[in-house]
Structure 1
Amino acid sequence: MLKINRENLKSSHQLTWFIIDFVMLGLLILNLALIIWDSIYNFVAVQNLLKDYAPVIQELYHPIHERFIFYDLIFVSIFLGEFVLRWGYSIKARVYDRWYFYPFIHWYDLVGCIPVGSLRFLRVLRIISIIYRLHQYKIIDFTSTRLYRFVIFYYEAFMEELSDRIVLKVLSGVQDEVKRGSPLFERIQHDILFPRREMLSDWLSERVAQAAKQGYIPNRGALRVYLENRVDHALKQNLELSRLKYLPVVGPTIQDTLENAVGDIVANVVHQILDDLASSTNHAFIEDIVNVFLPEPGEGLTEEGEKEALITLILEVIDAIKDQVHVKHWRENLP
C-alpha cells in the first residue's frame, strides 16, 4: 500500500507545490478514467447493453458522451493553467538555463493536452512524472508497493532472458569464428599486446616489487628461521650426511658445520632472490618472462597440434561461460 510521509511533506520547503501535485494527480486519474470509460461507451453494443440493463446510467451519461470534448477541455484548461504556473515559477527561480527550456523538457504535458484520440493518453506520462517527483523528495515510496515489486520482478526477468539470448548469440558467433580459424587471437597478440610489451613489463615489474616489499620484507626474519629449520630437517633425513657423525673426533663437528653452511646458503639465496624482486633490478627478469609469453610476430605456435589444443581450450572456456549464462537467476526469487 502506498503511504505518504507526512513528516517529509511538512518539513519540505515546497509544500504548496506538493499539494498541487496531489490535486493534479487526482484530476489526471479522474480524467483518464473518464477517457477510458467514454472510449468503451463509444461502442454501440455497450450503449445497447446499458439501455437494457442500466437505463438510468445510460440516460445520465449519454448527454456527457455527446459533449465529451467540452468536459475534456475543462480538464485541459486546468492542466494548461498548472503548466503555465510552473513555467512561470521555473523562469523566476531560474531552474533552467533559458526561459524557453521548460516546454521542451516537459513536452509530454503540452502534447497530452491536445484533446485528440491517442494523444490524450500521453497524460499517463504526466502521472508518472508527478509520482517520480514525489518519490524523489521521499514524500511517497512506491518501491514498497506490490504493484512495483510485481512489475520490477517481471521486468528484470524479461531483461535477463533478453540479455542471455544476446550473450549466447555473441558467444556462439565467437565459437564459429574460432572454429573457422579466425585471426582474432593472433591480432590480439601481435597488434595489441606485442606493441605494449614494454608497458606490460614495467607494470608487472612494479607490481611484483610492491608485492615482494609488502609480503617479504616485514617477514624476513621469520622466513629465514623457517628455511633454516626446513633445510636442517632435510639434511638430517639424508643417510650419507648422517654417516659423518661416525667419524672419530671431527664427525659431529663436520656434520653441524655442513648443516649450518647449507642452511645459511639456501636462506641467503632465497633472500637474495626476493630482494632482487623487491627492487627495480627485477625488470630484466620480468621482461624475459613477458618475452616468453609474447614472442616476436612469427614465433608463435608453429605446431598444428598446439594450435588445435589452444582452439579446443578456447571453445571449452566459452562453453563454460554459456553454461553459466543459461542459469536463470530470476527463477530463484519465485515464491
Structure 2
Amino acid sequence: MSQPPISNASTQTVTHVPSPPPKPPNRFKLGYDIFMLIVISIDLLLISLDAVLMSQFSANAAEWLNITQSLVWYQSTVHEPLRTAGGFFTIFLVAELFVRWMIAIQRRTYYRWFFFPFVHWYEVLGCFPQLRMLRLFRVVVIGRRLYQLGYQVLPQLWIERIKFYGDILLEELSDRVVLTIIANFRGELTDTNAQQSIINSTLTRNRAHIEAAVLSMLRQELIPQLQQLKGNPTTGNVIATEVGNAIEEGLANTPELRRYVRMIPIAGSLIESQMLQIGHNVGENVASAVTERLLDAERLDALMQNIAHGIANMDTQNSALETLIAALIADSLSGLEAQVKVQQWKHKDMLNL
C-alpha cells in the first residue's frame, strides 16, 4: 500500500522577507528645504542686526567707542534699504506659504482645507512684521527634518549643548511648577476641614486596598508566629501546664467542694487529691485541644480576614488616626519636595562645561 505524498506545506521553511530599504529623500524637496533654511536664516540675521544697531544700547556703545558717525551713517543710509529688503522677504514668505497651502489642498494633505494655517501657525504669525522672530520656528523645523535625514546641519557639540540647556530649562520650569503645587497643597492641609475631607476621601476610595494590604501583612507576619505555638512543644506544654494549674488552683480554692469531699470518711483526702490531679489533666487536655483548633490554618486565615476587614472599615472620626495620616502626608510631601529640589542636570556628564 503506497503512502500518501507528504504535503509541501509541512516541509516549507518560513522565510523572512527583508523589509525594503528606506526611500531616499526627494532631491527637489531636500534642495528646497536647504534653500528656505538659507533664506530665512539671512532674513533673521538682517532683522537681528538691524534691531541691535537701531537700539539705544548701540548708540551708547558707539558713543563709548567713538564710532558714533559710523552708526549714524548706518541708520541714515542702510536702515531704510534693509527694511525694504525685509519687506521683500516678507512678501516672498507670504507667497511661498500661500503656494504650499494650495498644494496641500490639491493633494488633500489634511482632513480639511483650512487645517493648513492651524498646523503651520508659526509661519502664519511670522508673516506679520511685529512677529517676524517666529520665523525661527521654521528654521528649527527644517533643521530637525534635515537632521533626521542624516544631514549634519549643526556641529554635534552645538546640538549636545542645545539639548543640555534645553533639558536644564525644562527641568527648572517643571520643578518650579511642582514646588508651587506642593506648597499650595501643604497650605490646604493646615485647614482642619480640608484635612478631614482629604483623609475621609482617601480612606473611602482605598478601603479595599487597605484591607488587602493589612491581610497580606497579617498572613505574612502574624500567622507564622501563631502557628509556631502549635508546632513548638515547649510553648504548647507551657500553655497547657498553666491552664491545668489554673483549674487545679480553682478547685483547691473552692471551699464548698473541699468540705463535701472531706465529709467522706477515710477516702476523702485521697478523693480530693485525685480530683485536683484530674482537674489539672483536664485543663491541660482542654488547652491542647483549644490551641489545636484555634491555630488551624483555615480558622486563622478567616480570623485575619475579619481583622483586616474591621481595620479597613474603621471610623475615620478619630483624632489619633487624623494625626497619623496628616503626619504621613506631610512627610511624603517633604520627601517629594526634597527630591524635586535636586538638580538632576548637575549629575549628567553630558558636556565638559
TM-score grouping bracket, smaller chain normalisation: 0.5 to 0.7
Following superposition of structure 1 onto structure 2, how do residues 176-325 of structure 1 map, counting pairs within 5 Å?
176-179=187-190, 182-190=192-200, 192-193=201-202, 196=204, 200-201=207-208, 234-235=232-233, 265=292, 269-274=296-301, 286-292=308-314, 294-295=315-316, 299-301=317-319, 314-325=329-340
**TM-score when scaled to structure 2?**
0.55
Sequence identity, in percent? 22
Is 1:102 the equivalent of 2:116? yes
1:5 alignment partner in structure 2: none
Corresponding residue of 2:23: 11
Partner of 1:146: 157
**Residues matched between the structures, number:** 273
- 1:214-265 deviation digits (Å, cap 9, x = unpaired): x99xxxxxx99xx999965x32688879xxxxxxxxxxxxxxxx9xx98x94
- SS of the residue 1:67 aligns to: helix
- Cα distance in 2 between the residues matched to 1:69 and 1:40: 14
Residue in structure 2 matched with residue 68 of structure 1 by the alignment: 82
In 2, distance between residues paired with 1:316 and 1:39? 52
Q: CA deviation at 1:78?
A: 3.9
Gaps of 5+ in 2: 1-20, 240-284
Q: 1:309 to 1:91 in 2, by over 3 A?
A: closer
SS at match of 2:111: coil
Structure 2 counterpart of 1:129: 141
Structure 1, unpaired ranges of 5+: 1-8, 53-57, 217-222, 242-257
Kept in 2: contact 1:208–1:277 (CA 8 A): no
User: Structure 1 residues 79, 315: closer, same or farther in 2, change over 3 A?
Assistant: closer
CA distance in 2: counterparts of 1:290 and 1:17, whole angstroms: 66
| Structure 2 CA distance for partners of 1:165 and 1:62, relative to 1, 3 Å | closer
Which one has the largest radius of gyration?
2
Give the conservation status (yes or no) of the 8 Å contact 2:125–2:134: yes
**RMSD between aligned residues:** 5.1
Q: Which has the higher contact order (CA 8 A, sep 6+)?
A: 1
Paired with 1:237 and 1:151, the residues of 2 have a C-alpha distance of 71
Matches within 5 A, 1:55-94: 65-94=79-108
Give distance in 1, aligned partners of 2:299 and 2:162: 64
Q: Deviations over 1:186-220 (max 9, x none)?
A: 21344x257x47x844x6678999x89xx99xxxx
User: Which residue number corresponds to residue 254 of structure 1?
Assistant: none
